Structures are given as structure tokens and as C-alpha cells.
Chains A and B, each alone.
Chain A
Amino acid sequence: MKYIYIACLFSFLSLSNANEYQLGKGVQVGSFPLYIGGYTSIEYEHSYGKNRLLTLDDIAVMAYGDYNNFSYLIELEAEDIYEEVLGDEESESDVKDHFHIERLYIDYEFNDRYMLRIGKYNSPIGFWNLIPINVLRDTSSNPIISKSLFPAFSSGIDLRYTLEKEMSSTVHFIAQENKDIETLINEDIYNNFDINRHYGAGLTLQNDAISYQFSAGYFRTIIDEDYYYFLGAFKYQNSSFKLQGEIGTQLNEDESTIPYIAYLQYTKYFKQEHEAIVRVESYHNKIEDRSDSFIVLGYTYRPLYPIALKSEYQWHSYRQENKLLLSISVLF
């Protein structure tokens, strides 16, 4: 896996000298239906009463292209590659150099309505989970709902039906009846839930400014725990601000495991380069026996859109969870 990554990175670096290369847009390999890109981020975290942590959060390489009705995408990512605890001379830095399969899929578009995806992909649930990488998301941190309500990745099929009218409607059917592709190939876990079954359905309604999303699904972990989830999301966006929220609940066969989990976020765009973000999150997780409500205040400066300098502070109902996050991220 490491060699594939190095080969991709080498190709990218040598091809990026081409005149047409623009940061954040990838580069085409010759005239083949093959584009290469990637992203990286470095994060600094200072939690209340704890040591400061510097992390080379992720490095990823993507390759994709399309030919007639087919398209494909491969994304290999190394996460938390280098970690160093600052201010603690006794702690040792931690280095992980293993690359995981983040996404690996082939799409077949039958016509303007039906599309079939086979492989490992971001579960099309909610809005945040569709573009989860640091450089493109609004804040360095992810809302809790995107990590604890449903599997962030699915390895199986996704059948999509789209109807374009005044409001575009898209229906997704997710089906997974095996382990994660990363587990099958590398015997490693690279998902927020270690699952071997996932069935879900979602409906997205969308026009220029407003989007709604409703999802429901069922998944089973490898230790035979069954969970059901329901999620509703909305987004309103114009050139000066964005308002976005997601709310969900999760249950197993006996009880409600997450009675509620939600966030509401307001993003204000100041010119093209500056964004201010206020996000309120709240949840009750019975499995972890935790409830928390907190506010995230963030500011993002993008000297160029594919380069994001982000800062955020989180005020939790548990003081020890309060934290400052700073990050630099780049899309290639």
C-alpha cells in the first residue's frame, strides 16, 4: 500500500510542473482519463488542563477519472501520521505511516436518473459527511453527529435515483453485506464503526439555495450489535451566509442508544477569504453514558480557496472538554 501511495505522490509531484496545474484542482496524467490530487492537514490542539498536541492529521492521495458511463475514484489516506505532545519532555512522538483505503469505487451511470456505485464510499447521509476533509469543511473539528450516529463509510453498493424538476430529488439506497474493504484487504479498521452489514435509504430535496435530507438505516457491528438510525438535515446558503443543521437519533433492539444528537451552524462569509462560524451541538449518548452541549466558535482564513487556516474554540458543559484547535490544510 505504501508503494502505491509513493508512486501516486511521485506522479503527482512530477506532473504538477505542467503549465496547466492549479492548486486545488488536481492534474491530468497525459490525456488519459486519470486525474491525481490530494490533501493534507496539520492540527494543533490544546485541551483544558491537558498537554498541547501537534498532529500531522492526514495526508491523502486521490486518483479518479471517467470513461463513457463509467467513472472511478481511489483515495488512500494516512491519518494521525505524526503526533507530538508539546511541553512534556518525557512523552515520545508517535509515528504512523500506514495508508488506508478511504474511498475506492466504480460508478456506472445508466442514464440521467439511475447511477450505481460499487465499492467503499462516504455514506450519503446528512451534508457534513459528504465533504468531510479538513480543507473543505467549515471547521477543524467535525460535529459529533458525523462520528457517532451512522457509519461514515460503507463498503457495498449505493443505488441513486435522481429526478430533476423545480426541486431536484435524489434517493439513495445503501447496501453492505460484508466487512469494510480496508478490513478485507489490510485487516485493519478504517471507519467509525467496525461493521459487516449496513442498509440505508435517503432522500435529498434541493434547489439553488435550500436543501433537505432525510435518512434512515440499520447497521450491525462485527460483534453482532444491531443499531437503527434516523437523521434529518437542512441547509440554506446564499453568497453571504450559510445556515445548516442536522438532527438524529439511534436505537438498538432494546432501547434508544442515542435519544438525540444535533447541531446547528451559522457560517458568515466576509468577502471570499474570511469565514466566521458559530456552531451549537448537543447530544445524549447512553452507550457512553454522556450528555454534552457545547458551542464552537471558529474563524477561517483562505488566502486561496484550497489553503485553509482555521482556528476554533469549543466551550463544553464539561469544562475539561474545552479546547482550542488550530489547523492548516491544503488541497492539491
Chain B
Amino acid sequence: MIRVYFLIMLLILTLSAEKFVLITNKDNSIKSLSKDVIKSIYLKKRRFWGETKLTVLNLPPSSNLRQSFEKDILGMSAKELENYWMRQHYKGQRPPYRLKSPTSVLLFVKKVKGAIGYIPSSFVDKDVRVLYKSRK
């Protein structure tokens, strides 16, 4: 019986993990991105794409989607990331812009050429370009 409960719990957890897609503005010249490049963009080691300045967007720390994104792409715990951004503060760098919801991210990306953000895969429409799809 315990084994059945365990399997059900595992199934629920797997189904509840949100899939995300990384999107950018249609006018941006980026076609697709590997995980390593996305990581370097989100850590602001890479701030431009060609001549275009990138505006990197994040969701609030409590967001499940952000947690999925950070686990899949950055491979850093929330604490490690906090520490990273404090070291960057000394270097004069700020963390990505934080927006309240995936809808705000989608609207922002549609308006700003260099914007990059992640949203649930179900939110995608034809006005944005998908750069990366999570598999989980």
C-alpha cells in the first residue's frame, strides 16, 4: 500500500512540474540558445547579442516556473544565486528584472527587442520567438 501511495505522489509531483519555454522578441536576431548560453545570459556574463542589449526577465522567487527554470538551466540553488548576485553588486551588476507574472513577461518581450524571458509553454503565441523548450 505504501508503495502505491509513493507512486501516486511521484506521479502528482511529475505532472505538477511546469514546462517552460524561453522566448524573445520576433525582431531579435537570436534563433535558438543552448543551456550554457542561456545560463551565461541569465548570470549577465553575456549582456549583448551582437549589437543588441539584452534585457533579461525573471519571475518572483516564489514562482514554481522560476524554480523549474533555475533548476534546469542555472543548476544553482536559490542561496547560491543570492550569493552570486551579492558578488556582482560589488562589480556594479544587477540581477535580471523581476516581473510579477508570465503575462507581464509575454507583454514585455513583445514590446522590447532585446528582451528574453521564460513563460509556461501554454502561453506562447505567434508574436514571440521560442528559443528553448524545457523537456520536463
Q: How far is the CA of A166 from the CA of B40 in the complex (A)?
A: 11
Please tell me if the beta carbons of A331 and B90 are within 8 angstroms of each other in the complex. Answer: yes
Question: Chain B contacts of A39 at CB under 8 A?
Answer: 90
Question: Chain A contacts of B80 at CB under 8 A?
Answer: 239, 272
**B123 close to A (CB within 8 Å):** no
In the complex, chain B residues 23-66 whose Cβ is within 8 Å of any chain A Cβ: 36-37, 40, 45-51, 53
Q: Which residue of A lies closest to B76 (CB)?
A: A239
Pick the most buried of A64, A112, A130, A133: most chain B CB atoms within 10 A of its CB.
A112
In the complex, chain B residues 76-118 whose Cβ is within 8 Å of any chain A Cβ: 77, 79-80, 82-83, 85-87, 89-92, 94
Please tell me if the beta carbons of A306 and B49 are within 8 angstroms of each other in the complex. Answer: no
In the complex, chain A residues 238-270 whose Cβ is within 8 Å of any chain B Cβ: 239
Question: Chain A contacts of B49 at CB under 8 A?
Answer: 112
Please tell me if the beta carbons of B48 and A111 are within 8 angstroms of each other in the complex. Answer: yes
Question: Chain B contacts of A166 at CB under 8 A?
Answer: 36
How far apart are B75's CB and chain A's nearest CB, in angstroms? Answer: 8
How far apart are B12's CB and chain A's nearest CB, in angstroms? Answer: 29
How far apart are A165's CB and chain B's nearest CB, in angstroms? Answer: 10
Contact size class for B? 20 to 34
Q: How far is the CA of A159 from the CA of B68 in the complex (A)?
A: 37
Q: How far is the CA of A272 from the CA of B76 in the complex (A)?
A: 13
Please tell me if the beta carbons of B89 and A37 are within 8 angstroms of each other in the complex. Answer: yes
How far apart are A109's CB and chain B's nearest CB, in angstroms? Answer: 6
How far apart are A77's CB and chain B's nearest CB, in angstroms? Answer: 12
Please tell me if the beta carbons of B53 and A69 are within 8 angstroms of each other in the complex. Answer: yes
- Which listed residue, A73, A168, A306, touches B86 by the CB 8 Å rule? A306
Chain B positions 113 through 133: 1 when the CB is less than 8 Å from some CB of chain A, otherwise 0: 000000000000000000000
**A305 close to B (CB within 8 Å):** yes
Question: Chain B contacts of A91 at CB under 8 A?
Answer: none
Question: Chain A contacts of B50 at CB under 8 A?
Answer: 111-112
Question: Chain B contacts of A131 at CB under 8 A?
Answer: 87, 90-91
Please tell me if the beta carbons of A112 and B89 are within 8 angstroms of each other in the complex. Answer: no
Question: Chain B contacts of A111 at CB under 8 A?
Answer: 48, 50-51
Please tell me if the beta carbons of A73 and B89 are within 8 angstroms of each other in the complex. Answer: no
Question: Chain A contacts of B51 at CB under 8 A?
Answer: 110-111
Q: How far is the CA of A239 from the CA of B53 in the complex (A)?
A: 31
Question: Chain B contacts of A26 at CB under 8 A?
Answer: 89
- On whether A136 and B53 interact (CB within 8 A), knowing A112-B46, A164-B40, the answer reads no
How far apart are A22's CB and chain B's nearest CB, in angstroms? Answer: 9
Q: Which residue of A lies closest to B48 (CB)?
A: A112
- On whether A305 and B82 interact (CB within 8 A), knowing A69-B53, A73-B92, A136-B90, the answer reads yes
Please tell me if the beta carbons of B45 and A136 are within 8 angstroms of each other in the complex. Answer: no
Please tell me if the beta carbons of B85 and A168 are within 8 angstroms of each other in the complex. Answer: no
How far apart are B103's CB and chain A's nearest CB, in angstroms? Answer: 22
How far apart are A61's CB and chain B's nearest CB, in angstroms? Answer: 12
**A71 close to B (CB within 8 Å):** yes
Q: How far is the CA of A109 from the CA of B53 in the complex (A)?
A: 9
- Which listed residue, B40, B83, B91, touches A168 by the CB 8 Å rule? B40
Question: Chain B contacts of A133 at CB under 8 A?
Answer: 90
Please tell me if the beta carbons of A35 and B40 are within 8 angstroms of each other in the complex. Answer: no
**A50 close to B (CB within 8 Å):** no
How far apart are A34's CB and chain B's nearest CB, in angstroms? Answer: 11
- On whether A331 and B48 interact (CB within 8 A), knowing A35-B94, A272-B79, the answer reads no
How far apart are B6's CB and chain A's nearest CB, in angstroms? Answer: 28
The 5 closest A-B pairs by CB, nearest first: A64-B92, A112-B48, A73-B92, A24-B86, A305-B83
Q: List 10 A-B contacts (CB under 8 A).
A: A25-B86, A35-B89, A39-B90, A65-B92, A112-B48, A112-B50, A162-B46, A168-B40, A305-B79, A305-B82
A-B contacts besides A37-B90, A68-B53, A112-B50, 19 pairs, CB < 8 Å: A26-B89, A35-B92, A37-B89, A62-B90, A66-B92, A109-B48, A112-B49, A130-B91, A131-B91, A136-B90, A164-B37, A164-B46, A168-B40, A208-B36, A239-B80, A272-B79, A272-B80, A305-B79, A305-B86
Q: Which residues of B contact A (CB under 8 A)?
A: 36-37, 40, 45-51, 53, 77, 79-80, 82-83, 85-87, 89-92, 94
